[in-house]
Structure 1
Amino acid sequence: MECWDAKFPVGSQVRLIRNVRNDGSFSELNKGDLLAEQGAVGEVRSSGYYLQNQIVYQVFFPARNLLVGIKETELIDVNLEWVPCLFRSLDKARLTLALKVRDDIIAVKGDLVEVQRVFRDLDTGQLEYEIAVGGYYVKVDAKVVEAELT
């Protein structure tokens, strides 16, 4: 069966935008075990509805030889540029450039900032982070932050 309003038809190649763990559906694995990592590429085998308003796909991941149910909001087209999500809420990151609001510099390259939220555009694949810096909450492209040096 296939949903009439599914974004990805059967046979589509898709990419996972977040890690997916066992919710208990795979009895041979422990609950919480990693099923597929963000960035993994799979093929849509079918689609259906969950709770009447969420589209869920059966996606086959050949690298793991695994068929997993994945929500539409967790997938992007495989042909979109892939930018892995390196940060989660409250993670620390370093700026790769200076930021200013109006004419005031609020942070310089190398400053440590705190990630508040993560945003991924499911149509373009673009990844953005909302960061807290200089008393502001600023939404920036993923390339503006890098891992904190230790």
Structure 2
Amino acid sequence: MKRQYAFGEEVRVSRTIRNDGTMPGYRRGDVLVRRGSTGFVRECGIFLMEKVIYHIHFPDSGLIVGCREQELLPLSAPWHAGQFQYGDTVACRHALAIGDDIVVAAGEQGQITATGQGEDADSYTVTFSGRWFQVSASAMILLETPQ
């Protein structure tokens, strides 16, 4: 199998990496590395004789995480990270209304369920109280910052 990235090469993760149960000290599903983070290739191996796995060192967190090739991008590739990521908890800066009816109160918490919406990829699908809304990034603030 041909490897796309070389030892020491700096790469970017294209999606949030969560613990699949193999990272000691973290619960299954915990965020290990946020989408857009950069790290350096430390090692490379083959999993189940068919998947290339890279061990990437992320200096900002000190973690070394196994990443599949399709989760990585060369640092030279164009990248638009966006302000929020899937699963982020956010709050509305102001009330949201449909017509004259307020459907989301100012300060109400929601969760990002889809990213990169809209013409400029600056709006997000957010769940507030079980309802989905497409909301501009400028109308929300991030409440939690995963590790």
Shift of 1:87: 7.7
Q: TM-score, normalised by structure 2?
A: 0.58
Aligned counterpart for 2:69 among listed residues 69, 72, 84? 72
Letter in structure 2 aligned against 1:146: D
Task: Tell whether 2:10 aligns with 1:13.
Answer: yes
**CA-CA distance at 1:32 after TM superposition:** 0.9
Cα shift at 1:81: 2.0
Q: Percent identity?
A: 28
Cα distance in structure 2, aligned partners of 1:43 and 1:74: 14
Please, which of 19, 22, 25 is the counterpart of residue 22 of structure 1?
19
Q: 1:74 to 1:59 in 2, by over 3 A?
A: same
| 1:57 equivalenced with 2:54 (yes/no) | yes
CA distance in 1, matches of 2:50, 2:31: 26
SS of residue in 2 equivalent to 1:73:
helix
User: Given the alignment, which residue of 101, 122, 139 partners 1:146?
Assistant: 122
- Counterpart Cα distance in 2 of 1:145 and 1:79: 20
Q: Which runs of 5+ in 1 are unaligned?
A: 89-116, 119-128, 132-141
1:1-150 paired onto structure 2 within 5 Å: 5-84=2-81, 143-147=119-123, 148-149=135-136
State how many pairs are aligned.
98
TM-score with structure 1 setting the length: 0.57
In structure 2, list runs of 5 or more residues that go unmatched: 87-113, 124-134, 140-147
